[in-house]
């Protein structure tokens, strides 16, 4: 295991692409299953595959930079639950207004499950690991006209 971690630390760019492709292409079958065959229970895998580059970057920075953790988990959990609620509302609004899907408790549960990877990535912008926090700083700091 130490050889693998040392290899990742020495070859971060290659490791990023390998991990990213493993996540996105490994779960890429879910796109066809949902869009062509209507197997909507595989839709959470689509969100996980779509978040593949961010998840690979989070994993890589956590492995490569072994700085001690700082702060408490409170900021992560607040950001996670806030992003979870907002992304679920956006998902539900899109399905209700654009896809004309019926709004039901089943759809709410489905949305809450599907958007978990998105909420996790947004929550990691407030991680206790300083390297991960600096990697995802662009999620929380607006640049240009908006700032």
Placement of tokens 């609620």 in the chain: 85
Tell me how far apart the alpha carbons of residues 140 and 46 are, in angstroms, rounded to a whole number: 24
Does the structure show a pLDDT above 70 at 145? Answer: no
Q: What pTM value is reported for the model?
A: 0.83
- Evaluated on CA atoms 10, 141, 114, 100, the torsion sign reads negative
Does the structure show a pLDDT above 80 at 35? Answer: no
- pLDDT greater at residue 28 or residue 120: 120
pLDDT tens-place string over residues 115-127: 999 999 999 999 9
pLDDT category at 27 given cuts 50, 70, 90 is confident
Contacting residues for 88 by C-beta, under 8 A, at least 6 apart: 108, 111, 112, 115
pLDDT tens-place string over residues 62-117: 888 888 888 889 999 999 999 999 999 999 999 889 988 888 898 899 899 989 99
What phi and psi values does residue 53 have, to the nearest 5 degrees?
A: -60, -40
Is residue 34 a contact partner of residue 43, using CB atoms and an 8 Å limit? yes
């Amino acid at each position: 295991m130490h050889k693998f971690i040392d290899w990742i630390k020495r070859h971060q760019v290659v490791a990023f692409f390998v991990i990213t492709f493993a996540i996105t292409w490994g779960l890429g079958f879910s796109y066809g299953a949902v869009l062509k065959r209507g197997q909507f229970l595989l839709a959470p895998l689509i969100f996980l595959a779509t978040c593949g580059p961010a998840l690979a970057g989070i994993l890589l920075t956590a492995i490569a930079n072994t700085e001690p953790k700082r702060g408490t988990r409170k900021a992560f959990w607040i950001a996670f639950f806030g992003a979870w609620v907002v992304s679920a509302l956006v998902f539900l609004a899109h399905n209700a207004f654009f896809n004309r899907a019926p709004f039901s408790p089943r759809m709410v549960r489905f949305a809450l499950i599907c958007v978990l990877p998105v909420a996790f990535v947004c929550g990691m912008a407030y991680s206790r690991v300083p390297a991960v926090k600096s990697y995802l700083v662009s999620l929380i700091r607006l640049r240009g006209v908006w700032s």
